[in-house]
């Protein structure tokens, strides 16, 4: 992979997070499933926002968070995603570009506004997400720059991309180009409800297009209809280069061939907001993998990055991960 211009190219929904604290009653009143990601339309977004508490805004989006993390470790990152030419779109672009990430997808000049995710954080630091996809529905296969994909050692795709219909085609195009160029393709399953929505497609993707898979326990359970993580890891390890299964405070399991590496979670002082934990774990692992580090070290970097991001609001690192590493 030494000939690659970029270590990791992320393709994902470009979303600005609007983050506020909420109590369990708020989630119940709005029929939200705690810990999940629900898609909402513009009217729902207005209605929920109007009742949410005082918030902060921060760039988010699963793959975008991961690429920000890769760049924060010192890796060369690139991103493909669709914003509108509006205030949130400019914020989103700035927050990646300022980290040195190559982000050249042209913004939409009309149509819906830049996507936003209303993130409700409960006292237990769990996050419940409500996403209005906005301009993300305008990501099309034309936005997949074949030269960029071919120039990236790893193309990293978020399962959430299956929600906007044209983005799904863009996803497949990127995966096909990457494989054709002899590059690696990584996928995160994103969310157990997302897995339920697209289970058969995800299974076919994993069979045909994916080298590195990220999933947490509930996503694995949704994919396999089973709680047997060891069996799922064995099945995935036989098909893929790497399967990385995250288990919150229990750390993670990296499975590759017959190798199994258990990685502990990194210690934290105060758990504030778990948004982005999985995204940043993926950042550490992918950065380590791009540097040909041993799996245990890749996992350690993932744990460090996840620990940083769950100790404050917002899903992007607030300190240089290269210094923490």
Q: Please identify, among the stretches 82-90, 168-176, 202-210, 256-264, the one whose residues bind a second copy according to the rule CB under 8 A.
A: 82-90
Q: What is the DSSP annotation of 225-253?
A: TS--HHHHHHHHHHHSSEEEEE-GGG-EE
**Rounded-to-integer distance, Cα 105 and Cα 69, Å:** 20
Closest contact distance (angstroms) between CB of 272 and a second copy is 9
As a residue count, the chain comes to: 325
Based on the shown chain and the rule CB under 8 A, indicate whether residue 88 belongs to the binding site for a second copy: yes
Site size with a second copy, rule: CB under 8 A: 30
| Nearest CB to a second copy, comparing residues 122 and 176 | 122
The CA-based dihedral angle spanning residues 214, 217, 222, 224, taken in that order and rounded to the nearest 10 degrees: 80
Q: Is 124 in the site for a second copy (CB under 8 A)?
A: no
Give me 162's structure tokens: 């299956």
Residue among 20 and 157 whose Cβ is closer to a second copy: 20
State how beta strands 127-132 and 56-59 pair: unpaired
Q: Judged by CB under 8 A, which stretch of 89-97, 146-154, 178-186, 223-231 contacts a second copy?
A: 89-97
The distance of closest approach from Cβ of residue 24 to a second copy in the complex, given in angstroms and rounded to an integer, is 16
Nearer to a second copy, 202 or 313 (CB): 313
- Angle at CA of residue 221, ends 216 and 222, nearest 5°: 100
Instruction: For the segment 44-73, give every residue that binds a second copy (CB under 8 A).
Output: 49-50, 52-59, 68
Pairing of strands 127-132, 152-158: unpaired
Q: Which positions touch a second copy (CB under 8 A)?
A: 20-21, 49-50, 52-59, 68, 86-88, 91, 94-96, 98-99, 113, 269, 312-314, 316, 318-319
């Amino acid at each position: 992979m030494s000939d690659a211009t970029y270590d990791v190219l992320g393709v994902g929904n470009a979303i600005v997070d609007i983050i506020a604290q909420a109590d369990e009653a708020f989630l119940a009143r709005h029929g939200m499933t705690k810990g999940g990601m629900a898609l909402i339309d513009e009217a729902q977004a207005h209605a929920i926002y109007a009742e949410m508490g005082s918030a902060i805004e921060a760039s988010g989006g699963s793959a975008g968070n991961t690429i920000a993390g890769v760049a924060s470790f010192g890796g060369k990152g690139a991103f493909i995603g669709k914003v509108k030419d509006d205030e949130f779109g400019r914020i989103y672009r700035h927050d990646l570009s300022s980290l040195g990430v190559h982000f050249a997808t042209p913004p939409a000049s009309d149509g819906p506004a830049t996507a936003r995710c209303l993130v409700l954080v409960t006292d237990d630091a769990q996050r419940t997400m409500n996403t209005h996809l906005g301009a993300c529905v305008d990501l099309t296969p034309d936005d997949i720059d074949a030269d960029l994909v071919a120039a990236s050692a790893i193309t990293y795709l978020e399962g959430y991309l299956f929600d906007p219909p044209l983005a799904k085609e863009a996803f497949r195009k990127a995966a096909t180009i990457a494989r054709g160029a002899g590059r690696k393709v990584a996928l995160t399953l994103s969310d157990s409800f997302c897995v339920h929505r697209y289970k058969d497609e995800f299974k076919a993707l994993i069979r045909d297009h994916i080298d590195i898979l990220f999933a947490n326990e509930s996503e694995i359970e949704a994919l396999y209809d089973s709680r047997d993580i060891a069996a799922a890891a064995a099945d995935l390890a036989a098909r893929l280069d790497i399967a990385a299964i995250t288990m919150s405070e229990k750390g993670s399991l990296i499975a590759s061939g017959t190798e199994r590496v258990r990685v502990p979670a990194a210690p934290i002082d105060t758990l504030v907001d778990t948004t982005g934990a999985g995204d940043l774990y993926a950042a550490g692992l992918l950065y380590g993998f791009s540097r040909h580090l041993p799996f245990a070290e890749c996992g350690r970097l993932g744990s460090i990055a996840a620990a940083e991001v769950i100790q404050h609001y917002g899903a992007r690192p607030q300190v240089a991960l290269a210094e923490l590493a």
